[in-house]
Amino acid sequence: MIDRQALRRDFEGLQAAIARRGGDVVAPGSAWAKVAELDARQRELKTESETQQAERNRASKAIGMKKGKGEDASAEIAAMGEVSRRVKELDALTKEAEAEFAAALLEIPNPLHDSVPAGDSEDDNVELRSWGTPRTDEVPAHWDIGTDLGILDFEAGATLAGSRFTVIKGAAARMERALMQFMLDLHADRHGYEEVWVPAIANTKTMTGTGQLPKFADDLYKLEGEDQYLIPTAEVPVTNLYQDKILDIADLPKRHCAYTPCFRREAGSAGRDERGIIRQHQFDKVELVHITTPERALTDLDELVSHAEAVLEALELPYRTVQLCTADIGFSSQLTFDLEVWLPSQNCYREISSCSSFGQFQGRRAGIRYRDENGKNQPAATLNGSGLAIGRTLVAILENYWQEDGSVRVPTVLQPYMGGMQVISN
């Protein structure tokens, strides 16, 4: 959520930062335009209310003076009654305007960091660095590799649940589990994250705190008859562990890693990645979350990105790191770096991790605060990133480690997690 005081203090600067996202984000009729109108309306109502209250106080004194002198105060009493009715009416209007203002505020995206490059589409994202040598020989798609080895069953997934669900079997199921354990061990033991195990269901307040609601309701699975949703990412429950809490600055940053299943309706993605397991309604992910201060947020983001990169390097998967442009960055993010892994069957890099700084945007929404050196409460800054998406990592391994006899080598670091298995074969 944007800073209300900044809205009043630097309206034009804030509008320019939001407008960089493009489209109609600040156009007439937008949430931004509505917020500006409602803020002005609240000021008008507050000014009138203060005027009426001052008039009521003046009338009250006049009544007291007349009564003290034994004079008739009926005119003043009638006038004060009218003023009191107007004050009550203004209070109701102010509360209504405040509720509308708060609702509109939730629809406004995070202002972008100055370093975000301008762009019209994902094609304008900026490559920062790459690692490893991409495989350029002819490699089958992961769905063919998995089907031939009998470890991916797309028909069973469709029968059990519908499209975009897959049954992962045998050695691939074990690799899925191995990846989860390897990633958590790496982040907890080497990178110093505290591991947490959190619910895969969250309520409306929790979803609102991290920005999934109200903006992305159509992409969520809601439990019928309940104020609960299946989580789209562990970011939601892990960040909200500190919902409505005040932390001491000496205890920051808080850093957590968590495995969860994730659920997304993939609304609007018809025709995209319909084959295979790149874009599923249910998938597994290890998430990294930082709760920190605004001053160190960008330094922490670089560190978080390096932790996600370390997973790909340990697995010896070629990847590149890109900075998202103004047209491709998420609603809640102020700055995002994506890691894209090489998929030889597609002859391109595909996203496997998105690492973002949200500034104080989520801190304000979720009521996550810290007490600074002066004892003043401030909204905390939050960061998160995938470390990594497990299904997409499995895809990358199947393709990058595929051998011409149809088998798939197991990455060295995963072999201890797979009982010493070195090759997946028929």
pLDDT per residue as tens digits for the range 80-113: 777 888 888 888 888 888 888 889 899 999 999 9
Averaged pLDDT for residues 223-243 = 98
Annotated binding site for ATP: 264-266, 351-354
- Annotated binding residues, written as ranges, equal 233-235, 264-266, 287, 351-354, 384, 386
Q: Are residues 62 and 180 in the same domain?
A: no
Give the C-alpha separation, 96 to 102, whole Å: 10
Q: What is the pLDDT of residue 64?
A: 79
- Kindly tell me if the per-residue pLDDT of 271 is higher than 90: no
Model confidence at 172, pLDDT cuts 50, 70, 90, reads: very high
Q: Which of 21, 333, 392, 399 is catalytic?
A: 392
pLDDT of residue 240: 98
More confident residue, 230 or 34: 230
Better pLDDT: 72 or 34: 34
Same domain for 229 and 134: yes
What amino acid is encoded at 81 in this protein? G
Average pLDDT value over all residues in the chain:
94
Which listed residue (174, 255, 264, 369) is catalytic? 264
392 labelled catalytic: yes
Residue 212 within any structural domain of the chain = yes
> In angstroms, rounded to a whole number, what is the distance separating the alpha carbons of residues 363 and 297?
12
Starting at the edge strand found earlier in the chain, the sheet holding 201-203 runs: 201-203, 228-230, 221-222
Catalytic residue check, 44 = no
| Residue 351 annotated as catalytic | yes
pLDDT digits (tens, 9 = 90+) for 368-385: 999 999 999 999 999 999
The pLDDT of residue 73 is: 75
Annotated binding site for L-serine: 233-235, 264, 287, 384, 386
Residue 218: which residues within 8 A CB-CB, separation 6 or more?
A: 265, 267, 268
Of the residues 354, 356, 364, 369, only one is catalytic, namely: 354
Mean pLDDT of all residues in 338-363: 98
Residues 313 and 379 in one domain: yes
Concerning whether 20 is annotated as a catalytic residue, the answer is no
**Range of weakest confidence among 38-52, 185-199, 345-359, 393-407:** 38-52
Q: pLDDT per residue over 249-260, tens digit each?
A: 999 999 999 999
- Residues 82 and 128 occupy one common structural domain: no
* Number of structural domains found in the chain: 2
Single-letter residue type at 268? G
Query: Domain check: are 101 and 155 in the same one?
Result: no
Residues 208 and 88 in one domain: no
Asked whether the predicted pLDDT for residue 74 surpasses 80, the reply is no
Same domain, yes or no, for 177 and 91?
Answer: no
Residue 371 is a catalytic residue: no
Phi and psi at residue 293, in whole multiples of 5°? -100, 155
User: 1-5, 198-202, 268-272 — which is least confidently predicted?
Assistant: 268-272
Q: Evaluate whether residue 304 is within a structural domain.
A: yes
pTM for the model: 0.91
Among the listed residues 351, 371, 407, 409, the single catalytic one is 351
